Amino acid sequence: MGRPSRGVLVHDDGTEEIVAPASIMIDDFGARLLLEYEYGPEMLPSNAVSSEALTAAGMWRYSALLPIDESPIVYPLPVGGTPLVAPPVLRASIGLPNLWLKDETRGPSGSNKDRATALVLQQAMSSGVSRVTSASTGNVAVSLAVGAAAAGKEAVNFVASDVDDGKLALMRHVGATVIKVQGGYEAAFRLSRQAAREFGWIDRNTGVNPVTVEAKKTVAFEIWEQLGGEVPDVVAVPVGDGPTLNGIAKGFRELVACGVAAAVPVLVGVQADGCQPVKRAWEVGGRVEATAAHTIADGIGVSRPISGALAVRDVVASAGFFVSVTDAQMLEAMALLGASAGVLAEPAGAASLAGLLVAVREGRLASNARMVALVTGSALKTPRFYQIGGRVAEISADLDELSRVLRSLDSAIPISRGRMHRPSDEGARPGGPIRHLRR
């Protein structure tokens, strides 16, 4: 089991401070705490395993680099070990021959949030605390509600008053307590943190509890293993609050520190065009300023990202960049993932693919780079965004009539499979990804 050797408090101005690793309660919008270990190749699993075995072991396979004690893992739901999909039809249709999809929709609640939920609830089950709280735009709250139900804990979720109805229904379906807070996500976040301090609940809020980033970093470990002990050229990550990107970056940095990887891949942070405070801070080299959110992608529609400054630092350190995508581009990527890869992504989950397509079209990445799109959340929670394709015919139960209808359908113009224009390679360096620090 992992024992952090020290904590590094990273301030928004980039300065660092060494602290005790147990110092996990930090300011709401102040520094971020990163846990560090005594690194070496022995900290990672030495045996290569099949994809089935990786799925069965899940993220607990990396327990030496997770802040858990010697107690057995008692969290009851499988988490981690999600597939890295090589989608042949999608690759061919969009002209990205080395695209991979890290499909986090396969978790218990259908999102990448299940990793952090599992680690926090594992600690709650070991400590005996009965209530766990979070603030969320939707997916974190659903994940905590599902995980807490399985773990015998009570989830108290603070959400914005305009939370997605489908996600709210799921929280209630599994018995969570839901507090709808007027004033948006930021107000819900502050109240959740105040309640955790006042009532002694475990605080699952991503970013302020460093355990959550520790869980998220296991995605990077799995990508490395699933690629045969190699790292990709590029990883695209949807960015709202920022900790998912922070976790991915930390995971790859730890692979380098353990001596099993040469470098961190280029990180592409993807924000919604209608809510891009982190991208704007990266462009101007200034602070992350709060902005209004106008996007259908609630998972990345975060007006004041709690870990935005650290996300900028992580992207710059990787020689990466940020892109923004429109709602229409996310919906188109959502349709592509469904019709050409069989991956059901919500708009925020499809943002990574949309961002890669924008980056290649703009000449910032080569189309033949080995790239991974992190698909963070399932479309099953957001049916109102389904892109309607396919064909429907209603007939009587008669084989002759079926034959006539099939001939008619076969002679019709084929329905589009969510095809997006191939990105142009003009301006892209054929040997690998282009690395621009500024647009």
DSSP 223-246: HHHHTTS---SEEEEE-SSSHHHH
Provide the angle, in degrees to the nearest 10, between the axes of the packed helices 277-284 and 308-317: 50
Residues 6+ apart with CB under 8 A from 406: none
Task: HSE, CB side, 13 Å, CA atoms: give it for residue 206.
Answer: 36
For the chain, list residues with pLDDT below 50.
Answer: 415-421, 424-432, 434-439
DSSP 287: -
- Burial class of residue 154, CB neighbours in 10 A (0-12, 13-18, 19+): middle
Look at strands 234-238 and 266-272 and give their pairing: parallel
Tokens 């846990």 — which residue? 35
CA dihedral sign of residues 357, 359, 364, 369:
negative
What integer pLDDT is reported at residue 418 of this predicted model? 47
For 200-254, how does the pLDDT look when each residue is reduced to its tens digit (9 = 90+)?
999 999 878 899 999 999 999 999 999 999 999 999 999 999 999 999 999 999 9
Asked if 58 and 81 count as a contact pair (C-beta separation under 8 A), the reply is yes
Residues 6+ apart with CB under 8 A from 135: 141, 157, 158, 159, 185, 188, 189, 190, 191, 192, 193, 205
For 135-169, how does the pLDDT look when each residue is reduced to its tens digit (9 = 90+)?
988 899 999 999 999 999 999 999 999 998 989 99
What integer pLDDT is reported at residue 46 of this predicted model? 82
What integer pLDDT is reported at residue 213 of this predicted model? 95
Residues 6+ apart with CB under 8 A from 251: 216, 217, 218, 219, 220, 221
What integer pLDDT is reported at residue 287 of this predicted model? 92
| 3 φ, ψ (degrees, to nearest 5) | -130, 105
Strands (DSSP E) contained in 230-328 are 234-238, 266-272, 321-325
What integer pLDDT is reported at residue 422 of this predicted model? 57
Q: How far is it, in rounded angstroms, from Cα 224 to Cα 32?
A: 25
